[in-house]
Amino acid sequence: MKKRMKTLAIVVLGIITGFPMIGNSQSFYALRQDRNFLVSLGSGTANYYGEMVNPGEFGILKPNVAAGAEYYITNRISIRSELTWFQLSGDDKKADDDRQERNLSFRSNNIELSVLGAVNLTPMGLRFYQRSKLNFHAFAGIGMLYFNPKAQYQGKWYALQPLQTENKKYSRIQAVIPFGLGARIKLDPFFNILVEAGYRITFTDYLDDASVTRYPDPSLLKSDLSRALSDRRVEIGTQPKNPQTIGKRGNPAKNDGYFITNITLQYYIPKMMFMSWHNKLYNAKRKYYYRRPKGS
């Protein structure tokens, strides 16, 4: 995992440091071309809210990396598509109440694909380079989340969803509703720094693989591993004589959620680039259409 994160950091750094070289090479003519399409790359933190976080606390901060593309419909309103990889984790050892006796924990690598709409406080201006140096906005949208909670047991990490530790089936793909606030800082005519913070409403209580109030009947679980990871109180000697009726495993009254904070570099794509792509595609189709078959 450390090697993978190091490689990812090098790639992100390479792309970010390469962007200014593109911007500095812009001519005055290119500056005059209006632009309303941006690409972005950023990183930040993610933290989970659920049964393994103390009320009022942020929980454990984990990393995220996001890439996206944004299009301005008007000078105030934009739509954005974004792909985000992030981690979440929780641990009862950090609880400030009797949840420590439950002894549950998890970590998860997640992928979110979202479509967002943003409304800016001030308009961009007649030309993209005439935008204000600082602009605030609110955003909301819809997305799809893939999550995969895992727990460590005897030195190994095991995916919990296939084990059905609560004798329940749930999907690792769920809909989410992102919303939040942000600010754009103009670096130069072609680049922005985007700072955003947003919460994700989910429709599942299984980001942490813990939901039901009572512990399931061990005889109904799939395997010895399922039983071991279902009730982990025995590992620290807090398991009561009647494990099914004493102690809560989860809280089904409230779904889990997560919070993402990002700092992102944005770049305005020239319209000429799209015209070039369009012309190449059109000419290729035209050439194919007028190509005469052999022997005619």
Q: Does the residue 296 lie in any domain?
A: no
Contact between residue 210 and residue 182 where contact means Cβ atoms under 8 Å apart: no
**How many C-beta atoms lie closer than 10 Å to residue 2's C-beta?**
6
C-alpha atoms less than 13 angstroms from C-alpha of 4 in its C-beta half-sphere: 5
**Could you tell me if residue 74 is inside a domain?**
yes
Give domain status of residue 121, yes or no. yes
The rounded distance, in Å, linking the Cα atoms of 290 and 68 is 38
Question: Which structural domain range is residue 183 located in?
Answer: 2-290
| pLDDT score, position 192 | 95
How many independent structural domains does the chain possess?
Answer: 1
Q: How confident is the model at residue 19, as a pLDDT?
A: 42
pLDDT at 124 (0 to 100): 80
Write the CATH number for 32. Answer: 2.40.160.20
In the prediction, which pLDDT does 129 show?
Answer: 83
Identity of the residue numbered 150: K
Residue 295 within a domain: no
Provide the pLDDT for residue 182. Answer: 97
Write down how long the chain is.
296
Q: Is residue 56 in a domain?
A: yes
Give the span between the Cα atoms of 154 and 20, in whole angstroms.
48
Cα 32 to chain centroid distance, Å, stands at 35
- How far apart are alpha carbons 193 and 144 in whole angstroms? 26
- Kindly state whether residue 147 falls inside one of the protein's structural domains: yes
The predicted pLDDT at position 161 comes to 97
Residue 217: strand, helix, or coil: coil
- Give me the pLDDT at residue 285, please: 56
pLDDT at site 294: 59
* Mean per-residue pLDDT pooled into runs of 10, the chain (296 residues): 50 44 44 76 97 89 97 94 98 91 96 97 81 95 98 97 96 98 95 97 97 91 95 89 74 94 94 56 58 56
The beta strands (E) that lie in 225-289 are given as 257-268
With respect to residue 79, please indicate whether it lies within any of the assigned structural domains: yes
Q: What φ, ψ does residue 207 adopt, rounded to 5°?
A: -60, -30
107 backbone dihedrals φ, ψ, rounded to 5°: -145, 155
